Structures are given as C-alpha cells and as structure tokens.
Amino acid sequence: MESVDPATGAAIAEYDEHDTAAVDAALSTAADRFDSWSARAIQDRCRLLERTADLLRERTDEYATLMTREMGKPIGQARSEVEKCAWVCDYYAERAPEQLADEVVGTEADARTLVSYEPVGPVLAVMPWNFPFWQVFRFLAPTLAAGNVGLLKHASNVPGCALAIEEVLRDAGVPEGVFTTLLIGSDRVDDVIRDDRVRAVTLTGSEPAGRSVAATAGEALKKTVLELGGSDPFVVLDDAPVEATAEKAAFARTQNNGQSCIAAKRFVVHTDVYDEFVDAFAAELDALTVGDPTDEATDVGPQAREDLVADLHDQVQRSVDAGATLALGGEPLDREGPYYPPTLLTDVPEDAPAATEETFGPVAAVFEAEDDADALALANDTSFGLGASVWTADLDRGERFARGFDAGCCFVNEYVKSDPRVPFGGVKESGYGRELSRHGIREFVNRKTIWVQHGFGEDDGLGTVDDAGGAGVDLTDGGNGS
C-alpha cells in the first residue's frame, strides 16, 4: 500500500500488505485475547481508554499532520478530529460502567430477572478515509470498553493513520491483539467476515459496500451495523436569519473539503427568502479559501484522490445538462493536486444527479419550496436518510419540522454532527444500527436474559436463593433453553 499526499502527489510511505498467514495469526491472537480482555474489570478497561485520551491530546499535532498529509483535510479540522477522538475515549471511560450495568426487570414477585450486557468477541470494522481517526475511535472506544476486541480494515489510502491508531492504544497499555490493524485490500474483506473467529462487523462507507458486507455477514449470521452515505437536506424556513444561516450553510457543505456523509448537500429554501439566501450563500462559498491544507488559512483543501474529482465533476456536468443552473464554481482548479472549488447549483431538476445522488465534495444544490409542507416533501425525497437540519426563528416550529424528517439524526438551528452523548446512524439506504451513546455500546453485546426463580426446591433440599439473588445450586437446563 502506498500513502500519497493528495495536495502534492508526493509519495509519503509504502506499507507491505498482510499476507494470508499474517491475517490468520492476527485473527487467532484476537480470539485468544478476547478471553482475558473480556474478563478484566470494566473499570480497568476504561482506565486504559482514559490513558489513550491523554496520549491523543499529547500527540494532537503529530496525528493531525498525518491525517492532512494522507487525505488532505485542513489542518485545523484535523486537530479538532484528534481532540474529538480523545473526547469519545473519555466519554466511554466515564459512562460505560453505567451503560453496561445489569438492568433489573420487574416480572414476578418470586423471581429476580435481569438483562446482562456481555461482549460477543472479535469485531471487524471496515472504515473509510474521510475521517480516518474519528470513524475508527467512535467504533473502538465503546467496543473495547464493552470487552470486545477490535480488528480494523481501514481505507487503503490512509495506512499510516491505521497504524498510528494501533500504536497509540499499545502505548496506552492496551494489550497486543486487543486492537489490530489488517493491511489488506477490499477484495479480502469477505474472507475475514466469514472467518469463525470474527463475531460481528461494522462498516462506514458507500451503499454498495454496505450491501456487500451485509450480504456476506448475513450468510454467516453475524451482526452488522452499517453507516452509509447521505444526501442531507438543509431546510431554510421563511423566518430564518438569512445571513447567519448562509454562513452556517457554507461550512455545513464544505467541512472536510465537502467529503462527509453528514455534510449538508441539498439546500431546501422557502420561496420568500430564496433569492436572498442564494445570493448570501454564493457570497459565503465564494469567500472560502481553497488551497494548501497545511496552511492555517485554508478552508477547503484538495479532494482525497484524482478519481474523486473526476466523479464529482461528472455529477455537476450531468446536472447542468439536465437543466440545473451553475451559479458558482463547476470546474476543477487549474493547479497541482485534485482541487475542486466550492460549487453552487440552482434550479436543480428533481431527477438530476445533484438531487438523486450523493455528491461527495464541495457541491451544493439549492431547491425552492413553496411552504413548509413542500419543503418537508423535498427534504424527504431521497433514498438516503442519515441526517437533516432545519433553520428557523421559531423553535417549536423547528422541532415539529424535525419530527417530520425521515432521517436518523435531525437538528434544529445546528448542522448535522456526531456527538458521543447521542446515538448516530441512519435509515433507508443510509444504513441501520447506531453508534455512540448507550445505544451504540449496546450494539455489539449479548443482551442476556437471566431469570432466577425463588423458592424452587426449598422443601426438597434442591437449592435455595441467597440474599444476593443467586441460586444456591447449579441447575443445568436439559432442554434447548427456549
């Protein structure tokens, strides 16, 4: 695997792929480590997450620079990403013991019943390049806290980030084999999923990749969580403060160089403020600085690869051919590196690529809505359902509107974002399952029902129930447990 700086095209480093024997050894080690790791007190596991957070903060500049060099993220945003990874480690270090504590359930007066949340084993994570640290840490923090072990198949253009994540965990004291990077191509993922030592799979990526992983895992009856693409609506109602909203809209579309599944992509604007918003939005986009991602003044860096620019430009051209108006940008920049400028499309037909496909780059499509009902219909007119936002001066109106979104993450007067404290994930072709919060940490656990019946056999001397609710004798189920 070769790591290449997208801003310059210069090779950074080369890495040898893991051969079949190396992958087999990694899977065996992960399976072996699971027994000892899951047996450790959760407080011990959480202390190692705290140490990981400390090291991330100490190495913020180092890891931010690595991200920027491997995939072109503006350096300021890269630093924020490292800090967010430290936050999610701290969050689960504090909250995991509570989130995974036994849940006592009231059933019958003469029984003690509870749900125990127990780890399932090695979990494979297939992760993308666009947030090369955060996507991994929002998986690994809850997964390791729960007592599972992790295996990472990262995107092939960020191998340095993948190995750095493994390194920081090792340096924090996480035992070897509890989290392992597999340097393999996408063509070898299916074999890893099918391996009996792997018990579950999570993927963040495209909708086709999600279908492929889900199909393979489904054949093996393995749990999956999928966070796929998005074409998030950004709805501007007639009472929204236009200038302030346009400023938010520009960042919501161009964060991470526009390469984010939760970036706003379709801007649905009430007719009463449509012209004013389009003018303000165009001005905000035009004022952004496109350039060297290592420069602190840069707002938008390069796209991660040349082929991504070609795909994005093709979507823009096909949208214009379908009848959209090109109001800003629309041509790859004539400079070294895969740079695409902030681009604005208006009058976008409902069947144009900018309306029906995910545009993974700084391209915004604006749609005019007659009223709230029309705006909501336009917002939901997509096969995706990851995130959505609405902007209004009336918070009650905004909340009512947000409840109508057909999406997993809905915001009022805030751009869509992931936060360790709330669940993250989508519906429809944006995937299923949730990451983060207590909902995320419970995805890869066995929700085990434990029923302790009081009084059985007391007269026969077969067993008693002690004060803690545990049976005084080991009774073996001779049936199928149903």
Q: What is the token pair recorded at 120?
A: 């399932």
The Cα diameter of the chain in Å comes to 89
Which secondary-structure segment (H or E) carries 388? Answer: strand 387-391
310 alpha-carbon distance from chain centroid:
25
3-state SS assignment for residue 144 = helix
- Radius of gyration, alpha carbons of the chain: 25
The token duo for 37 is: 């790791």
Q: CA nearest 136: which of 69, 89, 96, 195?
A: 89
C-alpha to C-alpha distance for 53 and 121, rounded to whole angstroms: 24
**Which of 261, 368, 410, 429 does the annotation list as catalytic?**
261
Rounded distance, CA 109 to CA 279, Å? 67
Asked if 405 and 253 count as a contact pair (C-beta separation under 8 A), the reply is no
The yes-or-no answer on residue 81 being catalytic is: no
The b-or-e profile of 174-212 (16+ CB within 10 A means b, else e) is beebbbbbbbbeeeebbebbebebbbbbbbbbbbebbeb
Residue 137, φ and ψ in degrees, nearest 5: -70, -30
Taking alpha carbons only, the member of 351, 333, 352 closest to residue 343 is 333
Token pair belonging to 286: 């035009």
> How far is C-alpha 54 from the geometric centre of its chain's CA atoms?
22
Question: What does DSSP say about strands 111-119 and 445-453: parallel, antiparallel, or unpaired?
Answer: antiparallel
Residue 447 buriedness (CB in 10 A; 0-12 / 13-18 / 19+)? exposed
Q: Which of 70, 227, 284, 429 is catalytic?
A: 227
Secondary structure class of 304 (helix, strand, coil): coil
- Are 126 and 136 in contact by the 8 Å Cβ rule? The answer is no
Contact 312, 277 (CB under 8 A): no
With CA atoms as reference, report the closest residue to 230 among 202, 251, 253.
253
Using CA atoms, how far apart are residues 146 and 135, in angstroms rounded to an integer? 18
Residues 242-271 as b/e (b if ≥16 CB within 10 A, e otherwise) read beebbbbbbebbbbbbbbbbbbbbbbbbbe
Phi then psi dihedrals of residue 362, to 5 deg: -75, 60
3 state DSSP class of 186: helix
Spatial separation of the C-alpha atoms in residues 390 and 234, rounded to whole Å: 6
Is 85 designated active site? no
Q: Which helix (H) or strand (E) holds 389?
A: strand 387-391
Residues recognised as catalytic = 227, 261
